[in-house]
């Protein structure tokens, strides 16, 4: 593992330090398309913790396919929400972290993850979010999370 990969893993470990677990936990399901060589589509599940008023940290694991066979990933991500109390119908957020990708025909690789997204309104206890970002290639995704009308 090169020095950059070690530094990114250390930064992710620090962000998931002692404060994690202190806030509410949220389950999520998601579908992502990653446009790189090789391109992939992943179905994923994750768990997110409220670390502070504006910050959410989580882990996501996904499996899917590429032209060459099976593909998977594990993401450690932090999201900064601009509207944590749902004062607006839609709530933008930005985030970052690290992503490790495993493809059938390649060694595991670690990437810096950057993203922007928007949370939609709550309906029947869930919210839908749309994201775009960079992490092992350009990616777009849709997430469904458990939610309350009072907080993101």
- From CA 9, how far away is CA 37, in angstroms rounded? 23
List of the chain residues with pLDDT < 70: 1-23
Q: CATH: 2.40.160.20, 3.30.420.280, 1.10.357.10, 2.40.10.480. Which one for 3-13+24-146?
A: 2.40.160.20
pTM of the model: 0.82
As to burial, measured by CB atoms within 10 angstroms (0-12 exposed, 13-18 middle, 19+ buried), residue 2 is exposed
Rounded CA separation 149/137 (Å): 34
Per-residue pLDDT, 152:
86
The reported pLDDT for the residue numbered 33 is 97
Q: Where are the domains of the chain?
A: 3-13+24-146
């Amino acid at each position: 593992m090169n020095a950059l990969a070690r530094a990114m893993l250390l930064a992710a470990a620090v962000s998931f330090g002692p404060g994690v677990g202190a806030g509410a936990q949220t389950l999520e399901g998601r579908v992502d398309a990653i446009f790189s060589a090789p391109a992939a589509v992943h179905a994923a599940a994750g768990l997110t913790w409220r670390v502070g008023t504006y910050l959410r940290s989580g882990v996501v694991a996904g499996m899917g396919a590429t032209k060459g066979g099976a593909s998977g990933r594990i993401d450690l991500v932090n999201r900064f929400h601009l509207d944590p109390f749902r004062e607006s119908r839609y709530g933008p957020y930005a985030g970052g972290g690290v992503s490790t990708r495993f493809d059938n025909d390649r060694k595991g690789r670690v990437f810096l993850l950057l993203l922007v997204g928007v949370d939609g309104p709550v309906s029947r206890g869930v919210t839908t979010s749309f994201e775009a970002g960079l992490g092992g290639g350009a990616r777009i995704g849709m997430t469904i999370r458990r939610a309350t009308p009072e907080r993101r």
